[in-house]
Chain A
């Protein structure tokens, strides 16, 4: 998850925080989906944090988390809350501004 390339002034292109609630099916699914997306599309361009709000409940308030799991896209562009287990990959990719890979097995129509 370290940013590999080094434009000195800019950090990683993507800053994504995933808030999960322990090991619930939705959370596990979301983590799996997000990891796959990052590997497939955003390799080296993303700063990803996975936060269990059961462990850090005060963060939930601070970060305005209501639903779980929630992926907060802080960069690029506007702040967005991607609510859900990220199974709708086409939608997630569109929201992240990434073109879908036709060979991606997880894109269902």
Chain B
């Protein structure tokens, strides 16, 4: 709203300073104009208007006048003390004027024509005496109980609204809700420029307060019903669904606190600022996984707030100690805050506010809610989903890494359900389940989705040991991945098989050795045989040579007739043959 705002003058607005209300109204109530707040008894109409005045004084330096028709100044002051509003001090500082208009039917007699100029003068005097910019008329319809002439009253109230506009004061008028109309007199809503309807609903014994802007002349506004709360700090409206999906994202990855689980993600962990849901049936170590995540956050030196809706902090810490997760030092260092409460303690909105408040107080980087499924006992599924949407939005905008656990019922867990329907809201979804075999239960964890990250498709068996959670290696048996006793059997079988194989190898080697020896012996035999044959052959050859030689000599002797000795030059001849 920058270019448009400068081009055309926007309707001036008076910020209320009330948490969330200014967001719904795009900046506040119409400045210098009357606004009607209507609702049934116990909605906090008076409180909202008083807060409007007090915040106006404290935050925007706009003095205010409170004209109360039902409560006296002392009663009003006492009623809002619990919220930390010191009306008497504000009155003493001349920032606030309280005027109790007491109208008692029994004291009033009508004797002719009249108007309400007395009221105008009182109000005008109060406004002028402190330079008020804000006015609250708390239940103007009380006038109708004091005066009988409806025609006069109606025209005078119209005139009053006109007069307040001319005075340029931002006014809140409160009114009781009537049958079938917003107010009993059916008048104020038409003369007001803005109408805020407060509603107090009890569903399943739990009260939820809701606020809706019925009309706002000359301005856009949120049209939904927004839950609001009366907290120790005043009214808090949760305009949460007005938040947009435009939060910053981080590319940083944080560990889950379970090494084996990190391995299942391509980037070895979860994105910072993402939200993760762990679903599982009872006793599948959801809390242990959550606590491991919390401990890991603390190990990095980042603060973590753990909302436990099932266990007390002591119980949680004791139980986690049994699996080797010592949370005590983190609690002592102030890194970990465990907030335990029964889900039924509060309505959903109250929970949301508590969560908001603690997050504001501790500024954690990690938030764990264990489990969200318990909240269903407080509200209907749509309400819980609405609340969780708002919560997840809030956490994302804050860049807080969040982890929720949820109990799913039944062994044939229909996964798409996760009753709260938050699965589409979270970025990562882990499912832990019982892998039930013959006579035993084992735990398996799988990743159903991980936005923006490749991940393992396997169901990994894990053990909860006294040193934390340990993921076991995947063993694939004849019928797929095996777990538990089958895993053990498979392991033994494999061991036996490998032993047998080893023995087989050794046997073969021995066999080979034997063969080799036999063959070597044969070779030796043959060689000896060969040698003897060779020797024989040589000897024969030599013999033949000698005979041949002698024959030759004999021939020479015969030829020469002389009996000569054999020559040296022919001695080498037998060598060559």
Residues of A participating in the B interface, judged by any CB pair closer than 8 Å: 19, 21, 24-26, 29-30, 33, 53-54, 57-58, 60-61, 64-71, 78-88, 91-92, 95
Contacts and interface: CB of A to CB of B under 8 A. Distances in A.
Nearest to B124: A57
B113 interface: yes
B114 A83 contact: yes
- A contacts with B: majority SS: mixed
A65 B115 contact: no
B125 A61 contact: yes
Contacts of A57: 121-122, 124-125
B105 to A, nearest CB: 10
A83 B110 contact: yes
Contacts of B101: 64, 66
B350 to A, nearest CB: 40
B332 interface: no
Nearest to B67: A61
B118 A65 contact: yes
A3 B185 CA distance: 47
Contacts of A60: 118, 121-122, 125
25 contacts: A21-B118, A26-B113, A26-B114, A26-B115, A29-B112, A30-B112, A33-B112, A60-B118, A60-B125, A61-B122, A64-B101, A65-B118, A67-B147, A70-B114, A70-B118, A78-B107, A79-B107, A80-B108, A81-B108, A81-B109, A82-B109, A83-B109, A83-B114, A88-B111, A88-B112
Interface string B96-132: 0001011100011111111111110110111000000
Interface residues of B, number: 25
Given A61-B125, A83-B147, A68 B118 contact: yes
A21 B113 CA distance: 13
A30 B111 CA distance: 10
Nearest to A22: B117
Interface in B20-76: none
User: Which 4 residue pairs across A and B have the least CB separation, nearest first?
Assistant: A84-B112, A57-B125, A87-B112, A85-B112
B125 A86 contact: no
A53 B113 contact: no
Given A68-B114, A84-B111, 11 more contacts: A19-B118, A21-B121, A33-B112, A58-B125, A61-B122, A64-B102, A68-B117, A68-B121, A81-B107, A84-B113, A85-B113
A66 B125 contact: no
A19 B124 CA distance: 17
B121 A54 contact: yes
Given A53-B121, A54-B121, A81-B108, A87 B113 contact: yes
A65 B15 CA distance: 33
Contact of A95 (B102, B109, B113, B117): B109
Contacts of B240: none
Contacts, number: 101
Given A58-B125, A60-B125, A24 B109 contact: no
Nearest to B107: A81
A21 to B, nearest CB: 4
| Most chain B CB atoms below 10 A, which of A29, A53, A60, A79 | A60
A66 B109 contact: no
B143 interface: yes
A84 B103 contact: no
Nearest to B97: A61
Given A60-B121, A61-B125, A67 B115 contact: yes
A57 B121 CA distance: 6
B146 interface: yes
A84 B114 CA distance: 4
Interface in B131-146: 143, 146
A65 B116 CA distance: 9
A61 B99 contact: yes
B144 to A, nearest CB: 12
A53 B101 CA distance: 16
A21 B110 contact: no
A78 B104 CA distance: 13
Nearest to A53: B121
B117 to A, nearest CB: 4
Contacts of B114: 26, 67-70, 83-85
Interface string B499-510: 000000000000
A66 B107 contact: no
Contact of A83 (B102, B108, B122): B108
Nearest to B118: A65
B349 to A, nearest CB: 39
Contacts of A66: 101, 103, 116, 118-119, 122, 143, 146
B111 A92 contact: yes
Contacts of A71: 111
B109 A91 contact: yes
A77 to B, nearest CB: 12
A70 B262 CA distance: 83
A79 B110 CA distance: 14
A81 B119 CA distance: 14
B112 A86 contact: yes
A79 B147 CA distance: 17
A79 to B, nearest CB: 6
| Most chain A CB atoms below 10 A, which of B99, B110, B126, B147 | B110
